[in-house]
Amino acid sequence: MDIHGVELDDTFAEAFDMTATRLVITAHDANWARHAATSMTGFATSVIGCGVEAGIEGPVAAERAPDGRPALAVLLFAFDRDTLAKHIERRVGQCVLTAPTTAVFAGLEGEPVNLGRNLRFFGDGYQISKVIGDTRYWRVPVMDGEFLCQERTGAVRAVGGGNFLVLAASLEGALAACERAVAAIGELPNVITPFPGGVVRSGSKIGSKYSQVPASTNHLYCPTLRGLTETRLGPEIGAVLEIVINGLTHADITRAMRAGIEAACSADANVRRISAGNFGGELGKHHFHLREIMA
């Protein structure tokens, strides 16, 4: 099977159950909302090293933002609710509370997870609770006025680790294809691509020759190991890049993979194959078969 002449491997991406929430960060203008959102979703590429995986989902129209200001939605994913709560508090406390003019609100309903519940103590007793409707907010005095935050957000079951590999004749071709794919995925709701620029070059396998290292380079797709180890790269492949997608539902990831693969395979003769990363299907319960997605 091929997409615009690009071969589609008969394989699947393997993804995992996760817990996720959406936060809506508002600010005086879009610039400051982006500063806060970029900061709080930084160093959040993989749960293995960062605790959570996070990214900017996209802008929220001012009329849909709780306080009517320019807003961005961010999604955070963790393996369990306690870890998610810990990182929400840490990241919002360090990156949103600190950013001028910002406020933060829950963007999902679900199992309650603390958002501003403990951050309020920064107010040193001068914080003000305000219940509006059935929702409690905290007004924390800060040097530019007040930091407004909702007491809790909602956590939902989600899926992390949807992916596909772009195999191209050159690194430039792989990069260009991935940039198109990430842009296409960025237009979709409910998904993020948590790695830098949405693209991963260090695809990994489980385990290593070193006992203390839980994951190591995916030698099957490393062009510089061709001829040295088992490989899945033909002589025409010069570089491989991966796009990892987390989404609120299986369907969201399916939609994002389709849009990303379609974009990667269009307008570039440099891309040779599309493949996907999995662990034999025994670790993650979510399997995304490329040929079914693109059928």
Partner 1 sequence: MSGMSLTLRAALSLPVDLSALEPRRIAQMDPRAVGALTLPQGNGTVRVDQLFDVQRRDSGATARLEIHGADGRLDGVGAGLEDGEIHVHGRAGDYLGRGMRGGIVEVHGDCGAFAGAAMRGGRLTVVGDAGDFLGGPLPGRRHGMRGGTVLIHGRAGDRAGEAMRRGLLVIRGDAGANCASRMIAGTVAVLGHVGPGSGHGMRRGTLLLRELPALPATFNGNGAHRLGFLTLLRAQLAAVDAELAAVLPAHARAERWVGDRSVDGRGEVLVWR
If the CB atoms of residues 66 and 203 are measured against partner 1, the closer one turns out to be 66
Task: Identify the H or E element spanning 159.
Answer: strand 152-168
Contact pick of 8, 15, 99, 148 for partner 1 (by CB under 8 A): 148
**Closest separation in Å from C-beta 130 to partner 1:** 5
Structure tokens at 142: 């800060």
CA nearest to 156, candidates 63, 65, 247, 240: 247
**Closest separation in Å from C-beta 98 to partner 1:** 16
By the 8 A CB rule, do 76 and 44 touch? yes
Distance between CA atoms of residues 126 and 224, nearest Å: 60
If the CB atoms of residues 132 and 228 are measured against partner 1, the closer one turns out to be 132
Q: Which of residues 5-64 bind partner 1 (CB under 8 A)?
A: 26
If the CB atoms of residues 42 and 123 are measured against partner 1, the closer one turns out to be 123
**Closest separation in Å from C-beta 61 to partner 1:** 15
List % helix, strand, coil for the chain (3-state, nearest 5).
30, 35, 35
If the CB atoms of residues 77 and 138 are measured against partner 1, the closer one turns out to be 138
Q: Where would I find the H helices in 78-232?
A: 81-95, 171-186
By the 8 A CB rule, do 258 and 185 touch? no
Distances in whole angstroms, Cα of residue 224 to Cα of each of 18, 98, 168, 185, 235:
34, 44, 14, 29, 11
Stretch of 31-39, 110-118, 140-148, 207-215 lying at the interface with partner 1 (CB under 8 A): 140-148
Q: How large is the C-alpha radius of gyration of the chain? A: 21
If the CB atoms of residues 145 and 214 are measured against partner 1, the closer one turns out to be 145
Stretch of 90-98, 129-137, 186-194, 200-208 lying at the interface with partner 1 (CB under 8 A): 129-137
By the 8 A CB rule, do 21 and 154 touch? yes
Report the DSSP beta bridge partners of residue 32: none
If the CB atoms of residues 148 and 188 are measured against partner 1, the closer one turns out to be 148
If the CB atoms of residues 102 and 190 are measured against partner 1, the closer one turns out to be 102
130 makes contact with partner 1 (CB under 8 A): yes
**Closest separation in Å from C-beta 190 to partner 1:** 25
Structure tokens at 120: 């309020």
Q: Which of residues 243-272 bind partner 1 (CB under 8 A)?
A: none
Structure tokens at 133: 């409707």
Distance between CA atoms of residues 65 and 59, nearest Å: 10
Q: Which of residues 55-114 bind partner 1 (CB under 8 A)?
A: 66-69, 103
Phi (first) and psi of residue 88, to 5 degrees: -60, -50
> Site size for partner 1, by CB under 8 A?
18
Report the DSSP beta bridge partners of residue 163: 244
Q: List interacting residues with partner 1 (CB under 8 A).
A: 26, 66-69, 103, 126, 128-133, 137, 139, 145-146, 148
